[in-house]
Amino acid sequence: MTTSPRSLTSALFPVGLLLIAMASVQSGASLAKSMFPVVGAQGTTALRLIFASVIMLLLLRPWRAKLTASSLRTVIVYGMALGGMNFLFYMSLRSVPLGIAVALEFTGPLAVAIYASRRAVDFLWIALAIIGLLLLIPLGEASSGIDLIGASYALGAGVCWALYILYGQKAGNDNGVQTAALGVMIAALFVAPIGIVHAGAALLSPALIPVAIGVAILSTALPYTLEMVALTRLPARTFGTLMSIEPAFGALSGLFFLHEHLSLAQWIAITCIILASVGATVTMRKEPKPLVPAD
């Protein structure tokens, strides 16, 4: 009789971590956008990852991780996917509202959620996602259309997000939360040269340091640590679908912090993408439990 509450707690624990992580990421993205006029999206990404890698290095002590040649390759791909996801997402925010950028980026984890699914009902969720994309990126000269280059950056971030989920689970099963620190360090090494070339000495502005540290904590150090714990307790498909409300977090964060007002069609599009993910979650087949993480 005592196992039921314990099982419920263990099931809700990773879900709670994801909710906190999503709120943190979107708050951090709103704060990061304030840095764009000074160092651009490239410099902002570099500062975020550099400070985040220092914080996570001190907190998680990733040098204790025992890496084999195989696990090192996985961590490198995970880190590069993480860096690409950050960089492309911030590039999209230069011309696309936060909520729409998150919705477009979310096609990555949604693709993970429905990959290898062959049931007829799954085509309904695919159709909903496509409707959402068509509403966000209308054909022709529509007044409600968004910048196509910015949208392409967001979709590219979605591809990196899918890789982040798949390789993050593999890497996390080997070394637990220490993998998050290793991944951020690799991401910083990957992205920092781009930011340095673009922003130059502006990156050293003392006024930017407190903001950059805040962005690093909210957007990287806290959520990626929490997500790594959740990744090792959930199958990749389940993780992807549980992130279904991420676009709503992004849209509300953009509304409250950046005063980005979306049209009715754009809210409907975001809702379609959320419903596609929720539907995939509700109708998914039972999956095997993930490996126990290395704490």
DSSP 130-182: HHHHHHHS-SSS-TT---HHHHHHHHHHHHHHHHHHHHHHHHHHHHTTHHHHH
∠ CA 192-193-199, nearest 5°, is 85
Boundaries of every domain in the chain: 26-283
pLDDT band at 233 (very low <50, low <70, confident <90, very high): confident
pTM, two decimals, is 0.81
Which of these ranges, 128-137, 139-148, 151-160, 196-205, has the smallest mean pLDDT?
Answer: 139-148
Quick one: DSSP state of residue 2?
A: T
pLDDT at 175 > cutoff 90? no
pLDDT tens digits, 64-114: 777 777 778 888 999 999 999 999 999 999 999 999 999 899 888 778 767
Residue 89 is predicted with a pLDDT of 95
Distance CA 125, CA 70 (A): 35
Return the structure tokens found at 133. Answer: 């994309």
pLDDT tens digits, 26-35: 999 999 999 9
- Mean pLDDT in residue range 4-16: 72
CA dihedral 178, 20, 254, 133 (to 10 degrees): 80
User: At residue 205, what is the residue type?
Assistant: S
Residue that wins the pLDDT comparison between 194 and 22: 194
∠ CA 128-131-132, nearest 5°, is 90
